[in-house]
Structures are given as C-alpha cells and as structure tokens.
Amino acid sequence: MKNFDEDVIIRRLSQSDTSALAQLFDEYQNAFINWVVRDFSVSREQARDIYSDSILDFYDNVTKGKYQKHKGISLKTYIFDIGKYKLLNLNKKQEVHKAKQNDIIQRTEEGAIINPENSQHIDEQAEIVKQMLNMLCDQCREILRLFYYHNATMQTIADKLGFANTDVAKTEKYQCLQELKELVKKRYQKSDFF
C-alpha cells in the first residue's frame, strides 16, 4: 500500500480513526493469511478470522494506551506475534478437544462406558454418551444398551430384536456404534468445553 507510515497509522488509531484501521487491515492481510496457512496448516477462513482478531486486539491496545513501539520491532511483526499466540492457543485447545474426543470414542469402543442408569457418579464423558445414545434410533439405542450395559451376547441380541442371526446383530451393532461416534464428534465440534 502506498504511503504506509507506521507512526502516522498508530497516531490515527489512537484517535479512533477507523479509516486507519481499514488501511492497517489491508496492509498486512494477504501476507498474514499466506504465512498462517503455510506454517500453521489452517484454512484460509481460519487465518482470516485470526487476522481480524489480531488487528482488533492491536487496535484495542493502541486505543487503551497499552501499545508502546519498540525499537527494531515493526508494526507487522507486532501484529503477526499477536496472531501467532492466538494460533498457539487455538492449537492447544484443539489438542485438548481431540484428546477428550478420542477418550470418549475409545471408552465407547471398549465398552468401558459408565452405566448412567446405575451409576451414582456420572462423569462428563458418560453424560455425553448418554445424551448421544438418546439421539440414536430406538433399535440402535437398544442394541448398544443390551451389549454395553447388560453385557448381552450377540445371540441374545439377535433373538430379542428378531435378527436372522448373530452376524446380522454384529453388523447392526457396528453401524450403531459408528453412528454414536459421529454424534460424539459433532457434539465436540459444536461445543465449547474450554
């Protein structure tokens, strides 16, 4: 961008000049997005959101008198550092989120789900699984309840639910478990546990 003077931009921002904010936003946007997409493996949309948040944080710092220019550190470096810390925090949250999600899925697969009907202490994971079970169709809910909560054999499940044989019961159980996993994944993607 022509005539981009950092000191002038900072002075204008401190006076709440929104046109200076727009000019600053445009100045580094493409470089920031390209850097973040390349080095942090995030989508362009996520990079754009992080950039917007970084610019707004910088603007808040300037208007509240918290920003002080440091010799040898450009405005671009300062804004990119804000974005980098936002990305690192996002990555930490995503790792915790993924670990929780994987733990629930693993517990579901291993049949180590706490029985919410009988347990005196329902932990967070068991409560999530209970909620997700209630979202399944009646047949899937019954198959998983019989298998995991009542330790029923595949033959018992086949007989009780009228399946032709144990192979059909196993296939149905597998499909229901897959559906439950997907519900858990969707729940974690839409929920904020942090």
Residues 134 and 180 sit within 8 Å (Cβ to Cβ): no
Residue 37's contacts (CB-CB under 8 Å, 6 or more residues apart) are 43, 44, 47
> Quick check: 43 pLDDT over 50?
yes
Residues 130 and 122 sit within 8 Å (Cβ to Cβ): yes
Domains of the chain in start order, with CATH, are 6-97 (1.10.1740.10), 117-190 (1.10.10.10)
Rounded Cα–Cα distance for residues 24 and 32 (Å):
12
Question: For tokens 């839409």, what's the residue?
Answer: 190
Rounded Cα–Cα distance for residues 84 and 6 (Å):
20
**Average pLDDT in the 175-185 region?**
83
Q: How confident is the model at residue 192 (pLDDT cuts 50, 70, 90)?
A: very low
pLDDT tens string 84-106: 988 888 767 666 656 666 666 66
**Average pLDDT in the 5-19 region?**
89
- Taking only Cα atoms into account, the Rg of the chain, rounded to an integer number of angstroms, comes to 26
pLDDT tens string 130-157: 788 888 999 999 998 888 778 888 899 9
Rounded Cα–Cα distance for residues 41 and 106 (Å):
27
Annotate 136-151 with b (16+ C-beta within 10 A) or e (fewer). beeebbebbebbbbee
Residue ranges of the alpha helices (H) in 64-117?
75-110
For every residue of 113-133, DSSP letters joined together read: ---TTT-SS--HHHHHHHHHH
Rounded Cα–Cα distance for residues 24 and 78 (Å):
12
pLDDT at 69: 82
Residues 24 and 13 sit within 8 Å (Cβ to Cβ): yes
Q: 57 exposed, middle or buried (CB, 10 Å; 0-12, 13-18, 19+)? A: middle
pTM over 0.85: no
If we measure between CA atoms, which residue out of 55, 14, 15 comes closest to residue 32?
A: 55
